[in-house]
């Protein structure tokens, strides 16, 4: 998975800002969303992201999986991320 060429990402104190330059859309994430984006930028798979976040937060991997997959699917639907 990788971000499309027309997407720009900027880290902020509150999370991340994603600029989709073709349609001029802006998306803002919280710190957890920023962690997912950083890992996606590092070419990590969704399964790896889920495992790392579950370990980092001491949370159930199934719950993390639902959230991560929903977040990634939303990025794909918004044409920010290519599967």
Ordered by where they begin, the domains of the chain are: 2-82 (1.10.10.1150)
Instruction: Report residue 41: phi and psi, to 5°.
Output: -60, -30
pLDDT in tens, the chain (83 residues): 899 999 999 999 999 999 999 999 999 999 999 999 999 999 999 999 999 999 999 999 999 999 999 999 999 999 999 98
pTM (two decimals): 0.89
pLDDT the model gives residue 15:
95
Task: Work out the burial of residue 64: count CB atoms within 10 Å of its CB; fewer than 13 is exposed, 13-18 middle, 19 or more buried.
Answer: buried
pLDDT the model gives residue 4:
94
Q: Which pair of structure tokens corresponds to residue 73?
A: 């699917």
Q: Where are the alpha helices (DSSP H) in the chain?
A: 31-41, 46-57, 61-77
pLDDT the model gives residue 54:
96
Query: Measured between alpha carbons, how far apart are the two ends of the chain, in Å?
Result: 5
pLDDT the model gives residue 43:
95
């Amino acid at each position: 998975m990788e971000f499309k060429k027309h997407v720009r990402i900027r880290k902020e104190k509150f999370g991340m800002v994603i600029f989709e330059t073709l349609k001029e859309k802006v998306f803002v994430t919280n710190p957890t969303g920023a962690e997912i984006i950083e890992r996606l930028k590092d070419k990590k798979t969704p399964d790896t992201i889920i495992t790392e976040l579950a370990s980092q937060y001491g949370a159930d991997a199934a719950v993390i999986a639902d959230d991560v997959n929903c977040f990634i699917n939303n990025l794909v639907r918004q044409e920010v991320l290519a599967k």
